[in-house]
Amino acid sequence: MTAAVGVRNRDVGLLSVSLDLGAGRRGVDMGPSAIRIAGLGESLEAVGFRVREVGTVTASPPETIDEGETRTRFLDEIADVCANAYNLVSLALGEGMTPLVLGGDHALSAGTVSAVADHLRAGGRGVGLIWVDAHTDMNTPETTPSGNIHGMVLSILTGRGPDPLLAIGSSSPAVAAENVSILGAREIDEAERELVRASGVRVFTMTEIDERGIGSCMDEALSRASAGTAGFHLSFDLDGIDPMEAPGVGTPVPGGLTYREAHLICEKAFRSRNLVSMEVVELNPVLDHGNQTARLAVELIASALGKTIL
């Protein structure tokens, strides 16, 4: 496998998406600031990167806008935020940078991943996607129990969901299901399960990770993400990690990835030389303990971009 783009480029295009409208709990809009405060810039510079600020997208406060339909809460505002995030990621890629997105809730991926997909598709091949998450995020407006769009975003990226979000980018689906893997899933809504089974997306539950080991599962995910693509995007929801290690997340679920398993995912992503872009989402500083989760996010980003033990 070869990678014409990716972390061989030493310029990181850093952008923040301050969004919590897609979630059911306030606070993840402050995640980008917490990660920056935890020393992200210094950490990346120590690995040898030049950090270039691309911009910030900020959603309107929920108190000032119409919630809209209960099954797609704040859809119009989220679509606007995702469209702006799409533009910033496209700008970073167009200027030869490796995009690094700080979130914000996972709904932002409807814009960020679509931008990477369009950029690579213009060169003749698509993008793979590795999705680290306690949840599969594959509800639709018909199945959602909450109306929270962050729980629908992977369905949107694979071609099912609200039209304003499907319309972001040049084509839908943004990613082919056979190039998508989810790592760390352990909480899936009842009506969502059938959608996941029928989707063609590969789900590595925590049970399978316990049985096989994270190394073997990640190798399979990398193979899927790289098959016939120009590289892959790593979307890391911090709730994929066990709450003992990452308490500051919007939707914590016990029994998640360990500290070392999370790092190995990122280390293998770097060693594959096919990592094109990355995002870290769902950090909620209100629920964190002394910025513990933000510091872990900085460590994981550094591992994904090449920091090694020896």
Q: Could you write out the three-class secondary structure of the chain?
A: CCCCCCCCCCEEEEEEEECCCCCCCCCHHHHHHHHHHCCHHHHHHHHCCEEEEEEEEECCCHHHCCCCCCCCCCHHHHHHHHHHHHHHHHHHHHCCCEEEEEECCHHHHHHHHHHHHHHHHCCCCEEEEEEECCCCCCCCCCCCCCCCHHHCHHHHHCCCCCHHHHCCCCCCCCCCHHHEEEEEECCCCHHHHHHHHHHCCEEEEHHHHHHHCHHHHHHHHHHHHHCCEEEEEEEEEHHHECCCCCCCECCCCCCCECHHHHHHHHHHHHHCCCEEEEEEECECHHHCCCCHHHHHHHHHHHHHCCCCCC
Q: Is 135 a residue of the active site? A: yes
What is the per-residue pLDDT for 10?
A: 81
C-alpha span between 123 and 30 (Å, rounded) = 35
Q: Is 233 a residue of the active site? A: no
What is the per-residue pLDDT for 1?
A: 29
Do 133 and 237 contact (CB within 8 A), yes or no?
yes
- The predicted model scores a pTM of 0.96
Q: Order of strands, edge to edge, in the sheet holding 11-18? A: 50-58, 11-18, 98-103, 275-281, 229-237, 126-132, 180-185, 202-205
What is the per-residue pLDDT for 4?
A: 37
* Active-site residue, selected from the candidate residues 20, 106, 279, 288: 106
* Active-site residue, selected from the candidate residues 133, 267, 279, 299: 133
What is the per-residue pLDDT for 7?
A: 63
Q: Is the pLDDT of residue 108 over 70?
A: yes
* Active-site residue, selected from the candidate residues 239, 242, 267, 279: 239
Q: Is the pLDDT of residue 6 over 80?
A: no
Please name the fold of domain 11-304.
Answer: Arginase; Chain A (3.40.800)
What is the per-residue pLDDT for 8?
A: 55
Q: Is 239 a residue of the active site? A: yes
**Res. 2 pLDDT band, cuts 50 70 90:** very low
* Active-site residue, selected from the candidate residues 119, 150, 233, 263: 150
Beta carbons within 8 Å of 278's beta carbon, 6+ residues apart = 98, 99, 100, 101, 233, 234, 235, 236, 269, 301, 304, 305
* Active-site residue, selected from the candidate residues 20, 105, 118, 237: 237
Q: Is 137 a residue of the active site? A: yes
Q: Is 133 a residue of the active site? A: yes
**Res. 202 pLDDT band, cuts 50 70 90:** very high
Domain ranges of the chain: 11-304
Q: Is 282 a residue of the active site? A: yes
Q: Is 299 a residue of the active site? A: no
* Main-chain dihedrals φ then ψ at residue 127, nearest 5 degrees: -120, 145
What is the per-residue pLDDT for 32?
A: 98
* Active-site residue, selected from the candidate residues 20, 29, 105, 135: 135
* Active-site residue, selected from the candidate residues 137, 192, 261, 267: 137
Q: Is 106 a residue of the active site? A: yes
Do 275 and 232 contact (CB within 8 A), yes or no?
yes
Give the pLDDT confidence of 221-251 residue by residue, as tens digits. 999 999 999 999 999 999 999 999 999 999 9
